[in-house]
Amino acid sequence: MRIGERARPARGFVYIALLIGLAVIGIGLSATSEVWTQSRQREKEEELLFVGNQIRQAISRYYLQSPPSARRFPMTLDELVEDLRTPDKPARFLRKLYADPMTNTPQWGEVRLANGQLVGVYSPSSEKPFKVFGFALRDKTFLDKDRYSDWVFRSALPAANPVLAAGAGYTAPGAAPLATPGNVPRPNNTPPPPGVVQPLPRRR
């Protein structure tokens, strides 16, 4: 048998082994890439929680440091970085304007009251979070949310949520109380709406 005839099968086995080796390396790289991607995503989640809460706290501090007779929330995020309501002594509630870690842009979704005051922010990202439990108490509403845009960093002050505040008997300074079934004015002799108990007249 010639030498060349023995070399051909050997080269074939080497070629097959090389293909198998490349396939194994490809699978390993793919798994490594997936692990890195998930790790990076979790880092961005933690950054979002930090940044979002920084903005949330800044919004509350802005309101609390307003003059008692004219308390309000900021109209823009810029006011949190430089509050010029007192020109001779500007205040800072945020060190800088943070970018949204999930989109890597400065564009945040905004939560506003009917009068335009800014009371919260959220990421516009529709991606599904990895983190669905184990949140701090301040972030308990993020439990089992389907999108990052559901992580709403809203000021915890009652004035930032007048609907809930009205239910607790609180009215924000300068705001009209919300109409509820028990306090809506009714014409004379009009029966009360369903579910509302009409008080009995006092005996004289």
Question: CA nearest 36: which of 48, 47, 24, 44?
Answer: 44
pLDDT at 161 over 70: yes
Range of the domain at 86: 11-167
3-state secondary structure 16-48: HHHHHHHHHHHHHHHHHHHHHHHHHHHHHHHHH
pLDDT band of 72, cuts 50, 70, 90: very high
Please write the tens of the pLDDT for every residue from 87-142: 888 899 999 999 999 999 999 999 999 999 999 999 999 999 999 999 999 999 99
Give a yes or no: residue 173 inside a domain.
no
Mean pLDDT of 61-83: 94
Domains in the chain, number: 1
Give a yes or no: residue 179 inside a domain.
no
How would you classify the pairing of strands 153-154 and 109-112? unpaired
Give a yes or no: residue 200 inside a domain.
no
Whole-model pTM: value is 0.67
CA gap 175, 191 in Å, rounded: 29
Please write the tens of the pLDDT for every residue from 23-67: 667 676 565 656 666 788 999 999 999 999 999 999 999 999 998
pLDDT at 85 over 80: yes
Please write the tens of the pLDDT for every residue from 164-178: 766 555 444 444 343
Give a yes or no: residue 34 inside a domain.
yes
Give a yes or no: residue 92 inside a domain.
yes
**What distances in angstroms separate CA 24 from CA 10, 17, 18, 42, 91, one per listed residue?**
21, 11, 10, 27, 59
How many Cα atoms sit within 13 Å of 154 on the Cβ side? 20
Give a yes or no: residue 199 inside a domain.
no
pLDDT band of 3, cuts 50, 70, 90: low
